[in-house]
Chains A and B, each alone.
Chain A
């Protein structure tokens, strides 16, 4: 069974702070995706990283895929209340691109 552990599970910070969320696995994935989910809604894809060591930036969000394609991180600079939500990583494997979701990190950003 492929497991993706995210840390921390919960994070409450003030606006303007920086934070990093980690996603770790013992399995190798062909690619890794990050999603954000808001209450009452389904997850929405933020980014897909494919190559080991790859770094992608999406405004204040920086995503990195580990060299061995087993882990990833999400760094948010100068967090804003609009960043509040559940962040999920998902490993992609197999020819059908089956997704295995991580345990999730619930982020709350307050004024």
Chain B
């Protein structure tokens, strides 16, 4: 199994630029989660989808962040415009159904200068 696939693995961008992070969940999984990990705040849930529908986006920091899941095999997390405080590792995770074990991708390390 390929596991959860995230791209890019590393992203360095300048403040004000648009950033798009991508995730391919495990085939057959119905729930998808986006997390952000920083030293200061730890691992935080940003948003999760069930059957491609956003269920809870209360963790999204502000309107600069948006997430989509156009189909069962692809999701994006977009930051526009990006700011230095957005620098973090962003993880995507998927689970078979809500409540099942979550499998995490390798993460995207984002640096905004």
Interface residues of A (CB under 8 A from B): 40-45, 48, 88, 92, 95-104
Contact = CB atoms under 8 A, between A and B. Distances in A.
Contacts of A98: 45, 48, 56
A43 B43 CA distance: 10
B12 interface: no
Given A45-B101, A95-B98, A96-B56, A101 B106 contact: no
6 smallest beta-carbon distances between A and B, as pairs: A42-B104, A97-B99, A101-B43, A96-B98, A42-B91, A43-B104
The DSSP consensus for interface residues of chain B is strand
Nearest to A103: B42
Contacts of A44: 104
Contacts of A97: 98-100
11 contacts: A42-B4, A43-B104, A48-B101, A92-B99, A96-B50, A96-B98, A97-B98, A98-B45, A98-B48, A99-B102, A104-B43
A95 to B, nearest CB: 7
A89 B105 CA distance: 18
A48 B99 CA distance: 11
Interface string B3-47: 010000000000000000000000000000100000000111100
